Structure 1
């Protein structure tokens, strides 16, 4: 990664966080929880740019402009809202599960080959 890419990424992140800080307080609180949740369970693509997070801010800005409370936008189950956003995305948990399955298959193949 080039230094210029790092600088641009930081500028993009600062702009992103400025948008978050401009939201009403209830939206900021929920956004930070969504962000934490997505960083823990989230999709692999989350680290490949700001698409999903920017989309959430777009949705929140629209909801705030319409005078809606944040839970009117996300629903009461914020984790379910996140899960719905990433339901078709590959997560780190998926990668880990695939890796574990592959290791078990390799080990079982070795056991099977030895018994033949």
Structure 2
């Protein structure tokens, strides 16, 4: 990864954050909670993948249609996030694989 890639990545992230800040306040709150949750349990490719920009696209469409954020995703934000990443490889999967591959780590 060269310096140009880092600079481009920062530009993209700043543009993404600007889109989030342009959302209505209730959408921003829910997005930030989803982001926190997904960074804890989400897919390995979350920072570089299409999931976060896709959520912002979805939220922009919902806000433009005049819908509340909970009308779009339901009242259980974590369940909505889990459904988004159900087919993705997560950090929890990697951890489980490492434990399964090395059974001696449990013996102390």
Aligned positions of 1:12-91 closer than 5 A: 12-47=12-47, 49-91=48-90
Structure 2: state its 5+ residue gaps: none
Shift of 1:45: 1.4
The structure whose residues are more often helix, as a share, is 1
Cα deviations across residues 25-44 of structure 1 (Å, max 9, x unaligned)?
00000000000000001101
TM-score, normalising length from structure 2? 0.94
RMSD: 0.8
TM-score, normalising length from structure 1? 0.87
- Please identify the structure whose Cα radius of gyration is greater: 1
Structure 1: state its 5+ residue gaps: 108-116
